[in-house]
Every structure is written in C-alpha cells, then in structure tokens.
Amino acid sequence: KKEVPLPNHTRIFTISNQKGGVGKTTTAVNLAAALATLGARVLVIDLDPQGNASTALGIEHRGETAGTYEALLDGEPLRELMQQCPDIDTLWCVPATLDLAGAEIELVNLDKRDYRLRQAIAALLDETTGTEQEFHYIFIDCPPSLGLLTINAFVAAREVLIPIQCEYYALEGLGQLISNLNLLSQDLNPQLRLTTILLTMYDGRTNLSQEVAADVREHFPQETLKVAIPRTVRISEAPSFGKTIISHEPTSTGAIAYLEAAVEIAQRGA
C-alpha cells in the first residue's frame, strides 16, 4: 500500500477562490480523500452553506444535523460535530447545513467574529496534539465570496490553496485574490501563506487550457503543482454517489491526478 510522509504538525489549508465553479469543493474533498487513503488523518471543514463538500463525502447534513454553524455561532467543539466518512476511516468532516447561510449576518455582531473558526480549530488541536486523534491535515472548503465565512477561513488557516480552472483567463482574478489575501493576512493572520496552486479542469487538447496553464506556471513557478487535474465526467459524477473519485473510481485518470497532487503536497512539507 502506498503512503505519504506525514507532517509533524497539523497543516491547515483553506481552499479559496472568489469565483464559483472553479473546482474548490472538488479539490477539497478529493485531496482530503487522497491524503487519507495514503495514510494521513484528515479533517474537512465545510464552510459553504451549499454543503457540497459534505454531500461529496457522504456526510449527513440535512435537518437537525449540527455542523459548522454550531461551531462558529455556539462555540460547540469541532470534535463533537465531525462525522467519519463512510468509506475512508481516517477522513472526517464537519458538515455545513443551510443555516450557515445566515451565519454571515449573525456573525457580524459577535465578539471576535473573524476568529471563531480559528478558536474552534485551536481547541481541537489542544485536545488532540500528540494523541492518536491528531489530524495531519485540515482542509477548509470556502463559499465563493469574500464574506465573514471566508475571512474566518483565512484567519484559521496557515496555507492557502487556490484551484484555477483552465477554461478562463485566470490571472486577472488571481491578482485580485492575492491582493485581498495580502491585506487580510497583514491585519488578521500574518502566518498565512499562499503555498499551493492547482490547475483544474485541464483539457490538453485546447489551446486555452495550455495557455492558462503556461501563464500560471510562469507567474507562480514555486506554488503551482506539477500535476494538473484533467476535466473528466467521472470527477463530476462521483458526488452523486456520495463519494469522492478516490473511493468511487480509484484507477480513473481523475483519481490518479488527485493522488499525485496529494503526494506533491505531502512531499513539499509545510
């Protein structure tokens, strides 16, 4: 069985891009599943009220289910909110429920509103560091907007991973995202680093994909992973089975690409 080197402290990633539909959620769940399959303990925190990450991981997130909302608004411990993924036993998820949509507004009047997720994660790390329960990776899946939920993710994370869809000229939006990131990190989280850019929905047959990929690699040679995630129907179908491509079709090109991305991330260390 293949395994990856494990980090000696919890690596906390926020998967961010203010654009919707670029592959944030797909990347969050599949990288998480890939790292978990390769021997890491991994937690996904679903911070998008749509709950797509929860769905893709086969995690209950309807009705009365408690999740990220309760962590942010009521201070409930993440440990009590996380659910084990049905088909990968070292993968866990704190689900997003629809009431999370209201959290953007409800958070406004709360004390330390930008630090709620950071505090929740700090409490989890306190309880688990040095134990069998310690997570090697935490991935936060963000909504496609720069509201308080996304700000909470930027404040809680140490690393930013930006997925770039190879179907649009991406650099302009990326510049904007990076300047937001710099402003935010100056004020709220100086430790935060853009460590990882992942090209997604890559179709090598089109000039556009090749150009976008070449542009991004030229501007961000250190950050951009060598592997690009191909556009494949199988990747988009997996969530309807409540599964990631990693457990649903582990030998497909999409699964192999996400496994390679996971290995690159693990080998680069923090």
Collapsing DSSP to helix, strand or coil, 2 comes out as coil
Q: What is the DSSP letter of 221?
A: T
User: Which residues inside 135-194 make contact with ligand ADP, applying CB under 6 A?
Assistant: 144
User: Which residues inside 48-77 make contact with ligand ADP, applying CB under 6 A?
Assistant: 52
Q: How many CB atoms lie within 10 A of CB 229?
A: 27
Figure out which of the listed residues 10, 14, 26, 252 binds ligand ADP, where binding follows CB under 6 A: 26
Angle at 74 between CA 71 and CA 75, to 5 degrees: 55
Site string for Mg ion, 1-40 (x = CB under 5 A): -----------------------xx---------------
Question: Rounded to the nearest whole angstrom, what is the least distance from the CB of residue 23 to ligand ADP in the complex?
Answer: 4
Question: Rounded to the nearest whole angstrom, what is the least distance from the CB of residue 74 to ligand ADP in the complex?
Answer: 26
Q: At 153, which amino acid appears?
A: A
Cα four-point dihedral sign 60, 65, 71, 73: positive
Collapsing DSSP to helix, strand or coil, 163 comes out as strand
Collapsing DSSP to helix, strand or coil, 1 comes out as coil
Question: Rounded to the nearest whole angstrom, what is the least distance from the CB of residue 88 to ligand ADP in the complex?
Answer: 18
Q: Which does 201 bind (CB under 5 to 8 A by kind): Mg ion, ligand ADP, none?
A: ligand ADP
Figure out which of the listed residues 11, 24, 61, 116 binds ligand ADP, where binding follows CB under 6 A: 24
Q: How many CB atoms lie within 10 A of CB 68?
A: 33
Question: Rounded to the nearest whole angstrom, what is the least distance from the CB of residue 35 to ligand ADP in the complex?
Answer: 17
Query: Which range touches ligand ADP (CB under 6 A), out of 83-91, 108-116, 210-218, 230-238?
Result: 230-238
Does position 261 interact with ligand ADP (CB under 6 A)? The reply is no
- Helices then strands (H, E): number in the chain? 12, 7
Q: Which residues pair with 199 in a beta bridge?
A: 164
Nearer to ligand ADP, 77 or 169 (CB): 169
Binding site for Mg ion (CB under 5 A): 24-25, 52
